């Protein structure tokens, strides 16, 4: 997934990991534990994006409970908030390929939809 983000959007490793991590952290904070554990068990490598890695990712991802938190993370990584909606279809496509259920994908789509 990070390779797709970098290739299609021209972002750096840190931006790809941080941006995807921010979306996933929002999902972790908003979805129930069962949904999140099925997400991380079906899609390999997601837990590493949720702050298991560097202190940079931990500090950036610590308090994401809404899309404004995701926007702050993107901003801290040097990306504007319009990039969020370019990340979403790539992340959703990856999760779909990994066998994540359509009902869970629907929840994520609503969660990550642009604030109106």
Picking from 21, 1, 104, the residue whose alpha carbon sits closest to that of residue 62 is: 21
Could you give the 3-state DSSP secondary structure of residue 51? helix
Which comes out higher in pLDDT, residue 52 or 64? 64
Q: What is the pTM of this model?
A: 0.87
Per DSSP, the residues of 32-45 read -HHHHHHHHHHSTT
**What phi, psi does 55 have (nearest 5°)?**
-65, -30
Domain-by-domain residue ranges, the chain? Answer: 2-112
CA 109 to CA 95: how far, in whole Å? 11
pLDDT of residue 22: 92
**What's the whole-number mean pLDDT along residues 18-34?**
90
pLDDT of residue 52: 54
Q: How many CA atoms lie within 13 A of 38 on its CB side?
A: 13
């Amino acid at each position: 997934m990070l390779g797709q983000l970098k290739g299609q959007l021209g972002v750096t490793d840190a931006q790809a990991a941080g941006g995807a991590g921010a979306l996933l952290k929002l999902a972790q904070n908003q979805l129930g534990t069962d949904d999140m554990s099925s997400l991380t068990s079906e899609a390999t490598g997601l837990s590493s994006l949720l702050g298991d890695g560097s202190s940079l990712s931990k500090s950036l991802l610590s308090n994401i409970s809404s899309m404004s938190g995701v926007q702050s993370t993107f901003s801290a990584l040097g990306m504007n908030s319009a990039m969020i909606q370019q990340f979403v279809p790539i992340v959703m496509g990856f999760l779909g390929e990994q066998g994540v259920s359509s009902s869970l994908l629907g929840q994520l789509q609503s969660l990550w939809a642009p604030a109106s």
